[in-house]
Amino acid sequence: LHDALPISLAKSCDKTVNVICVDAWPPYTFNNEDLKKLSAYQEGMEFDISHFRKNISDCPNIEVMEGCSTEIPWEKERLIDLIFIDGDHESPGVNNDLECWFERLKTDGIFSGHDFNVGVFPDVCKAVIEKSEKENLPFKLFEKSAIWVIEKESEKYRNQGWAPNEETVEEIKEMLERS
């Protein structure tokens, strides 16, 4: 998603809301063949931390944190309203990201991310389902996208998107087992 999502969030929310972007920044080392394909698709794009900083220069409410997301120092009292994960796409990295960042979420916060795609990123799907079950909170998938959401207090928010029922979750699990 590069710059588009954080810039969109930063410009559409109240200027007192801090949008935190955590990334190791290129050059990335991809292990997953599908990620290599995605990277090749973006070949020739000028994208690094200096490019990102230039693009967000008119967004003073974006805070950039450089490093591995699970190793970023964090004040325990500093809780987050909305977390969007688009990081590691393989186990155990994706599981570590979900564990690490979920504990930083406010009680009524929204935990979300990208790449819920059984055929391309099965580890992301498995990790989201496992986290949802572990926390005993349903997850939602937004139609015609790969965006997933887990709300800590789901009744507080409008029911947007598509919340899979138990049969659908079981179908997704079966697809993951076959992949």
pLDDT, residue 30, reads: 47
Question: Which tokens go with 67?
Answer: 């490093």
Rounded CA separation 110/107 (Å): 9
Rounded CA separation 8/77 (Å): 27
Query: Which of 36-40, 53-57, 152-156 is the least confident region?
Result: 36-40
The predicted model scores a pTM of 0.74
For residue 68, pLDDT over 80 is answered with yes
**Mean pLDDT in residue range 149-153:** 82
Contacts of 33 (CB under 8 A, 6+ apart): none
State phi, psi for 108 to the nearest 5 degrees: -105, 25
**Mean pLDDT in residue range 92-110:** 92
